[in-house]
C-alpha cells in the first residue's frame, strides 16, 4: 500500500482524504491518504519524518506552502513562479515540488465548464499566494489581457511586472477597476472568508463568468455577481478536485475521473 497525506494547520476541514480515496478506488490503486496536523513551527521536520517512514509524497495546504517550496530539492516552473509548493513527490533522494493550484483552476474552467480563456479579458481580484499560484497556468491559456486588482495596489503592480514575460498583464488597486465588462472575473481574495466583498465598480460583472476560489458556501462575491448580471457564477470546488487530480497524476501517473468526484461532493 502506498502512503500519502496532506499537511496543514488547521487541517480538520480538509476534503483531500475523501477526494484521494475516491481517485484510488477509480484507478484501482491501493493507497492510504491521511490528514496531518503539523506544528506551526515544525513543518519541515514533521514532513521529513513522514517521508523517512516510507511515504511516497504529500500535499501541503495553508500555511506551509512557502516552507514546502524551501523543503523541495527540485521545483517545476509552476512551483518556481508561484514561489509555493502544494505537492511533493519522493523520487530517490529528491523531493520534487509542484504547484497544482493553477492547473486545477484552468482544468476546471476549460474542461469541466467548457470555458476557453484564449483571447479573453480576465480580471483577478487579490494578489496573495493563490493569485501567484494561478497566474502562469492562466497566462499559458493566452488571454488577451490579464488584469490583477488588489486592495494593496503595489502588490498587484509588482505581481503583474513579475509575470509580464509570460503574457499581457497589468496590476492596479481595487478602486481602479473600470465599469467596462470583462469576460472572466476570478475572486482570489480571502475577503469571502470574512463574509466580505471588495467594493469595486459593478459594471465589470455584466455578462461575465464569475469564479470564486472559495468553496463550500454561497459567498458574498457570488451574491455580488448575481446582483450585477453575471453570465455564470461558480465556486472553487471544481478547482479543489482538479488540483488534487493533478497531484494524484504527478504521484501515480494515473488520471482520475474528476467530474464523478465533483458530482459526489456536491451531492
Ligand atoms: P492570502 O492571504 O495570500 O491573500 C489574501 C488576498 O486577499 C490579498 O490579496 C488581500 O489583499 C486580499 N484581501 C483580504 N481581505 C480583503 C478584503 N476585505 N477586501 C479586499 N481584499 C482583501 O490568501 P490566498 O491567496 O492564499 O487565498 C485566497 C483565497 O483563495 C482563499 O479564500 C482560499 O481559501 C482560496 N483558495 C482556494 C483554492 C481551491 O482549491 N479552491 C486553492 C487556494 C486558495 P491585501 O494584499 O491588500 O492584503
- CA torsion sign for 83, 85, 89, 94 is positive
Tell me: pLDDT of 193 over 90.
Answer: no
- What fold, for 102-235? Rossmann fold (3.40.50)
- CA distances in angstroms from 143 to 82, 123, 211, 238, listed in the order given: 19, 10, 16, 21
Question: According to the model, what pLDDT value does residue 241 have?
Answer: 98
Question: According to the model, what pLDDT value does residue 192 have?
Answer: 86
Cα 228 from Cα 208, distance rounded (Å):
9
pLDDT in tens, 157-168: 999 999 999 999
**DSSP letter string, 33-71:** EEEEE--TT-HHHHHHHHHHTT--EEEE-TT-HHHHHHH
Ligand 1 contacts CB of residue 262 (under 6 A): no
By percentage, how much of the chain surpasses pLDDT 90?
98
Is 25 among the residues known to form the active site?
A: no
Return the domain boundaries, the chain: 2-99+238-266, 102-235
Question: According to the model, what pLDDT value does residue 159 have?
Answer: 97
Question: According to the model, what pLDDT value does residue 30 have?
Answer: 97
pLDDT band at 173 (very low <50, low <70, confident <90, very high): very high
Nearest to 173 by CA among 205, 130, 133, 126: 126
Q: What's the mean pLDDT in 248-253?
A: 98
Nearest to 17 by CA among 28, 3, 68: 3
Ligand 1 contacts CB of residue 155 (under 6 A): yes
Q: Reduced to 3 states, what is the DSSP secondary structure of residue 185?
A: strand
Please choose from 16, 138, 189, 224 the residue to mutate so as to test ligand 1's pocket, defined by most ligand atoms within 8 A of CB: 189
- The structure's pTM equals 0.96
Which class does domain 2-99+238-266 fall in?
alpha beta
By percentage, how much of the chain surpasses pLDDT 70?
100
Q: What's the mean pLDDT in 44-73?
A: 97
Amino acid at each position: 500500500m502506498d502512503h500519502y497525506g496532506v499537511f496543514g494547520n488547521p487541517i480538520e476541514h480538509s476534503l483531500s482524504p475523501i477526494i484521494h480515496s475516491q481517485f484510488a478506488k477509480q484507478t484501482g490503486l491501493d493507497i492510504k491518504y491521511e490528514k496531518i496536523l503539523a506544528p506551526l513551527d515544525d513543518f519541515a521536520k514533521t514532513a521529513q519524518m513522514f517521508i523517512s517512514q516510507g511515504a511516497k509524497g504529500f500535499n501541503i495546504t495553508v500555511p506551509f506552502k512557502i516552507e514546502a517550496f524551501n523543503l523541495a530539492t527540485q521545483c517545476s516552473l509552476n512551483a518556481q513562479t508561484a514561489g509555493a509548493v502544494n505537492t511533493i513527490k519522493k523520487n530517490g533522494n529528491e523531493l520534487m515540488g509542484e504547484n497544482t493550484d493553477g492547473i486545477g483552476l484552468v482544468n476546471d474552467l476549460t474542461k469541466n465548464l467548457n470555458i476557453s480563456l484564449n483571447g479573453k479579458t480576465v480580471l483577478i481580484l487579490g494578489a496573495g499566494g493563490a493569485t501567484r499560484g494561478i497566474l502562469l497556468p492562466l497566462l499559458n491559456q493566452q488571454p488577451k489581457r490579464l488584469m490583477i486588482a488588489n486592495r494593496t495596489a503595489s502588490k498587484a503592480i509588482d505581481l503583474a511586472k513579475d509575470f509580464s514575460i509570460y503574457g499581457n498583464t497589468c496590476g492596479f488597486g481595487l478602486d481602479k477597476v473600470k465599469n467596462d465588462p470583462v469576460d472572466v472575473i476570478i475572486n482570489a481574495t480571502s475577503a469571502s472568508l470574512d463574509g466580505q466583498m471588495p467594493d469595486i465598480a459593478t459594471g465589470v460583472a455584466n455578462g461575465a463568468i464569475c469564479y470564486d476560489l472559495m468553496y463550500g458556501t454561497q459567498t458574498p462575491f457570488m451574491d455580488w455577481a448575481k446582483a450585477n448580471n453575471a453570465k455564470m457564477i461558480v465556486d472553487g470546488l471544481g478547482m479543489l478536485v482538479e488540483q488534487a487530480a493533478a497531484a494524484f497524476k504527478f504521484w501515480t501517473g494515473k488520471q482520475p475521473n474528476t467530474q464523478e468526484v465533483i458530482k459526489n461532493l456536491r451531492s
